[in-house]
Structure 1
């Protein structure tokens, strides 16, 4: 157990190491306790408009019971947090944010809700209320055998639940919110559970072939999948354009703007950002967070590594980081400083390991 965002979190379970757990998720199924994440409901007649003010996502066109990755932005276009937004209806949303950003996010929501509910739109059409699901469990069942295992516990046809969709699903007497997705690049589900039922469901879901899986494997899986970790790969000085997350900015939002931080974000979409997030393959030794990135000649620093590991799946040293625009092209050969030595590295596309989501 290790301290993480105010919680004691499992780094690994028993004698099963992080690498073995990583391979088990890639080949079978693993269960992650992610109940430290902050789960919220936003409800009200103007909930869609409110969340479209806070984020650059196009929520009006998002179908009911569909999810999207999104970002909360500050006035300068920097990322306050990354988040998953699930639309239940035009007036009801389920939102998951990071535990490490809890205080910042909840204060931001409070301030912006007060501002919004005094606005002409809210006065005319109705305001928005925020419910924090404190104490609720959140379990992530991930891996190629996850669906088969979960299907044995429910009468709901999980084939109807494609990637990015959610539903209330009966599981052994519990009626639970199940979203198809996760942060490993594998097929899987994130299940939100009332406090009184969390332990029972965790016990039910942790039988063979499913293995309990800790934070160590979660980090290596998400990095292979090219996914960002807030506080390392994302922060309030980084815009979604720099982070390679332009795809989550709705097409209609690029024309109309209207979201907090839109002037900076739309300017970067038009003119290009000063730096970009890239994937790297590093020779010799793994580059960790903070390692400096140089030109191939090694004379000029052009960026910094934000995440890096020896990849269990690829048996190569992989990393993500930010480099100055112009040095971000795939195949570009550069140098990374590891243990006071410049190592050869190459810019590669993300993800490192191809995603295997269940799509229609």
Structure 2
């Protein structure tokens, strides 16, 4: 069991304690799960105004081709991901997936074209494995640089643009998935217009020494509140976004996970760079034949949340499980419980009636369209 003394600390750790955060162990770090405002109010504040999240536990990695040509770096990265990395334009980023030889998902990530190098943000719990994977596969042609000591914050919500533009006016000109280097009150930052909440907003990468000062500056705006991991989870669930380790993992293919959109035409059958990534045969085969199971949204009929791990049935009595909930809870903006999980593809149509077994009782739950709350990205 980890004690707080054993856990790693982000550059904002002292600020979290000063703000009265309730801390918890997450991916080896001491992280804020909530502040005195509480999870529900933090969630609703992000949807209405702006929330500031510490995501410095995530892994930031740079990839440079030894040839100096970023296309060489992109093509090298394509050997471990089904994503069209070479098609990412300078100043843009794309959602990516690491796959294994069985077609399962080893992690998901964001990759940006920074002009002369690629910039990746990977999940905290997987970052050391991801770094080792990249070093093993790309070191002959690329230089891999881990920047695990940098700060990373997410500023999310309808007031995020105005709050950031007060210190970096160029932020207003960015659109969803743009990535730029900006000066924020004199601090050099790599900023992407993206996030994990379904709201418009930014992710801001800073030197560790600048992170606390810039966080305090942003929080000095009365519209910006500190937000913990609890509300981050409910926000992403309402937005229909996957959590690695819950909704996707080593046993889940991109097709099963309903992430076919993340594999562009260039990497599919008939594409100019078809296959060539781990698990390509199984994954591309499922594009043609379909998968036996599919990730779907799930809408419980009552007010009781249905949590991860709950089994799903076709009948209200008897029978064997046909699916499982992978994420679930109360959606503060939706105003009711929301969930995601896997069901047989034959039962994946919106409106299909199923039953969730909670504490020995079968509760009605229906397949629902995702997202539960419409995204507000600036496109």
Task: Say which SS state the counterpart of residue 205 (structure 1) adopts.
Answer: helix
SS in 1 for 2:192: strand
Q: How do 1:1-360 residues align onto structure 2 when only pairs under 5 Å count?
A: 1-13=23-35, 15-44=36-65, 45=69, 46-89=72-115, 91-114=116-139, 117=140, 127-156=141-170, 158-207=171-220, 208-255=222-269, 256-284=274-302, 285-298=304-317, 299-359=319-379
Aligned residues: 345
Shift of 1:305: 0.4
TM-superposed deviation, 1:300:
3.3
Distance in 2, matches of 1:296 and 1:355, equals 34
Task: Give the deviation of 1:259 after TM superposition.
Answer: 1.6
Provide the alpha-carbon RMSD of the alignment.
Answer: 1.1
> What CA distance in whole angstroms lies between the structure 1 residues aligned with 2:78 and 2:135?
16
User: Residue 103 of structure 1: CA displacement?
Assistant: 2.9
For residues 87 and 245 of structure 2, what CA distance do their matches in structure 1 show? 30
1:151-207 CA-to-partner distances (Å, cap 9, x unmatched) read 111232x33210011111111111211100100000000000011111111111112
Rounded to whole Å, the distance in 1 between the matches of 2:164 and 2:173 is 13
Give the distance between the partners of 1:108 and 1:28, measured in 2 at CA: 39
The CA distance in 2 between the partners of 1:61 and 1:282, in whole Å, is 40
Q: Structure 1: which 5+ runs fail to align? A: 118-126
8 Å CA contact 2:58–2:148 kept in 1: the answer is no
Q: Name the CA distance, whole Å, in 1 between partners of 2:169 and 2:368.
A: 43
SS at match of 1:346: strand
Per-residue CA deviation, residues 291-318 of structure 1 (Å, 9 max, x unaligned), is 0011145423111000000111112111
Pick which of 211-220 and 296-305 moved more.
296-305
TM-score, reference length from structure 2:
0.89
Contact 1:5 1:100 in 2 (8 A): yes
Corresponding residue number in structure 2 for 1:124: none
Counterpart-to-counterpart distance in 2, 1:296 and 1:24: 39
Is 2:179–2:191's contact at 8 Å kept on the other side of the alignment? yes
Post-superposition CA distance 1:110-141 (Å, at most 9, x none): 22224xx1xxxxxxxxx101000121000000
Structure 1 Cα separation of the partners of residues 194 and 370 of structure 2: 18
Aligned mates of 1:188, 1:318 — CA distance in 2: 23
Measure, in 1, the Cα distance between the counterparts of 2:129 and 2:89.
29
Q: Distance in 2 between matches of 1:315 and 1:48?
A: 43
8 Å CA contact retained: 1:286, 1:338: no
Question: Does the 8 Å CA contact 2:192/2:204 hold for their aligned counterparts?
Answer: yes
Q: Aligned partners of 1:6, 1:317: CA distance in 2, in Å?
A: 29
> TM-score, length-normalised on structure 1?
0.94
Give me the whole-angstrom Cα distance separating, in 2, the residues matched to 1:29 and 1:155.
17
* Distance across 1 between alignment mates of 2:373 and 2:223: 23
SS of aligned partner of 1:181: coil
Moved runs in structure 1, 4+ residues, more than 6 A?
A: none
Once residues 247 and 172 of structure 1 are traced to their aligned partners in structure 2, the CA distance between those partners, rounded to angstroms, is: 38
